[in-house]
Amino acid sequence: MAVADVMGRGFRLESSLAKNPAIEGLDPRDRAFARAIGATTLRRLGQIDAVLAPLLKTPPPGRVQAYLQTAVAQMVFMDVAPHAAVGDTVTLVKADEKSEPFSGLVNAVLRKVAETGKADAAKIPPIRNFPGWLRSEWTRLYGKAAVRRMALLLATSPPLDLSVKNDPDGWAKKLGGTVVGGKTVRLDVIGNVTALEGFKEGEWWAQDISASLPARVLEQACGGFVGKRVADLCAAPGGKTMQLCAMGGDVTAFDLSEARTERLKRNLDRTQLDATIVMADLTEYTPEKTFDAVLLDAPCSSTGTFRRHPDVIHNRRERDITPLTRLQDTLLKHAAKCVSPGGTLLYSVCSLQEREAADRVRKFLKAMPDFGLVKLAPIPGLDLPEGRIDGGMIRLLPSESPDGRGMDGFFIAVLRRADKTDAKET
């Protein structure tokens, strides 16, 4: 089961569904429903487990628990008829050799949920859907009211955001969307995104508004990219690379993975944008020439993407953060080698954890005295709450999108390397 794979084995929901033969054999409509069940279960897991807990003397095995969780998701949060959800779930349990001995328990528990589950769930605050360690850390960093707002977003599916090469207003009109943040086209789309007008022609690519901001901030800090050498490190699948190219930079895109590099190439081919692609391990790479602007969107816990990927908050553990911070420190150190004197380095992560964000930048600045934060101007079209732009650092919370409909959580920092004349003067 996909939910059991996420909870017990740390799988991503989409990859688990893609590898499930039972899902693969379904028609598109049923596949979409199966995906919706998995996503709803993960979005509402805290409330679901609170509904189930009083009905279970001891926790059942992981797969049995997953059957119960997905059934509750259907009855309580997806308005599936209780008799259908109970009957289908019990049938699945009986067909599962390892779970079959628990079919009576599953039937009895779900019949009780059918009677009182909705009323019981309504008493449980949505903030409980975040795991305890994240709830505590985010409350300390951002306050309980902000975390409550994020919990309301977790319960809903995100809109589709597009970055367009040209004319966002025109594409918003063609596709029936709106422009948010001055540049991003936002749609309410469910279904095959590749069938939308402009996809095959390469006029746009899917990219959350938050993920589009690092390239915009870097361009603003550099005074434009035309005539400048720009590097996108950890570039695949290529959303930021395509932005940098469309902004007129002479772009070199780096990535470690052959499969991801191929995906990057396909995206550049589709959008008819040109970049030099280098497959290399950044920690072992020495550039022949340095760059005027370097964008490092570093690997991270991705906790800021919880709305698009609700599995992230359940298969990440607090112990996972420290190894990631070590990797981020290493990548920042090597990214600095790619920056020309007087050049600009942007560091970003789609994490809400301060240990992966400002803490990494502060440590980097202590070790690299020839770098300093760049004071950032407001981002055109993005009216952020006071304090979200702090010197050379920006913190984006999921609940603070321009239209109030949410976005990924993100952190951005912009640093400039002293040029040679500055170094001589100091």
Give me the active site residues, please. 350
In which element (H, E) is residue 111 found? helix 103-122
Residue 160: other Cβ atoms inside 10 A: 20
423 is in an annotated binding site: no
Residue 44: other Cβ atoms inside 10 A: 26
Sheet holding 178-180, edge to edge: 178-180, 184-187, 160-164, 204-206
Given CA atoms 179, 183, 189, 195 in this order, what sign does their dihedral have?
A: positive
Residue 154: closest CA among 410, 342, 399, 360:
399
Rg (CA), the chain: 23
176 is in an annotated binding site: no
54 is in an annotated binding site: no
126 is in an annotated binding site: no
Residue 312: closest CA among 131, 51, 153:
131
Task: Give the alpha-carbon dihedral of 5, 8, 11, 12, to 10 degrees.
Answer: 80
Instruction: Report the alpha-carbon distance of residue 275 to residue 256 in Å, rounded.
Output: 16
238 is in an annotated binding site: yes
236 is in an annotated binding site: yes
235 is in an annotated binding site: yes
Residue 418: closest CA among 351, 311, 341:
341
Residue 293: closest CA among 364, 327, 245, 260:
245
Instruction: Report the alpha-carbon distance of residue 205 to residue 199 in Å, rounded.
Output: 7
281 is in an annotated binding site: yes
Instruction: Report the alpha-carbon distance of residue 402 to residue 399 in Å, rounded.
Output: 9
Cis geometry, peptide bond prior to residue 402 (ω within 30 degrees of 0): no
Contact 196, 382 (CB under 8 A): no
Residue positions forming the annotated binding site for S-adenosyl-L-methionine:
234-240, 255, 281, 297
Residue positions forming the annotated binding site:
234-240, 255, 281, 297
